[in-house]
Structure 1
Amino acid sequence: MKRYLILAMRRAQFDLAVVPRHQAFLDGLREHGRLEMAGPFGDKSGGAYLLRAADLAEATAIAHADPAHVSGGWDITVYEWQAH
């Protein structure tokens, strides 16, 4: 498994009601051993999470299933992260 950094940046039309569903989604990833860490940015502009996936296509598919993405209120960007 490789690591992928997922950036979730809030758009102007961001809906606060999506946050609990997004957090539940992350909890599910954690329970399945896919999520290493996650958290919001201090300025409330969005957040990031570190995901484990086989490849970029799988990581992108997982990130695009996130209610934050599905809601249309957040920009989701996926990067392969080669942390040392």
Structure 2
Amino acid sequence: MATAPRRYLVMAIRQPGFDAGVIEPHLAYIGQLRAQGRLELSGGFSDGSGGAYVLRAADLAEAQALADADPLHLTGASRLTVFEWNA
């Protein structure tokens, strides 16, 4: 019997020299996750330092793989950290 997906919080903190050109590809990626039913919630921090999103995944490895495919990570624009979240 398969276990229910768990929630994972992905914190994205902008790196020095952040290129705003990565925002649109990131939003497109977030949209894909939402369409797949893997994304529960997302948004930016009001101070402009980054943002966070909540993923549904089977385990931490899957959640980390999803975060690693985010253009924010692929370009090095932001540091992404994934936490299992007991919300």
- With normalisation by structure 2, the TM-score equals 0.94
| 1:8 alignment counterpart | 12
Q: What are the within-5 Å matches in structure 2 for residues 3-82 of structure 1?
A: 3-82=7-86
- Secondary structure, in 3 states, of the residue corresponding to 1:50? strand
Q: Please list every run of 5 or more consecutive structure 2 residues that lacks an aligned counterpart in the other structure.
A: none
* Percent identity between the two aligned chains: 54
RMSD over equivalenced CA pairs, Å: 0.4
Count of residue correspondences:
83
CA distance in 1, matches of 2:69, 2:58: 16
- Secondary structure, in 3 states, of the residue corresponding to 1:33? coil
Q: Please list every run of 5 or more consecutive structure 1 residues that lacks an aligned counterpart in the other structure.
A: none
CA distance in 2, matches of 1:10, 1:53: 24
CA distance in 1, matches of 2:40, 2:76: 25
Larger Rg: 2
- With normalisation by structure 1, the TM-score equals 0.97
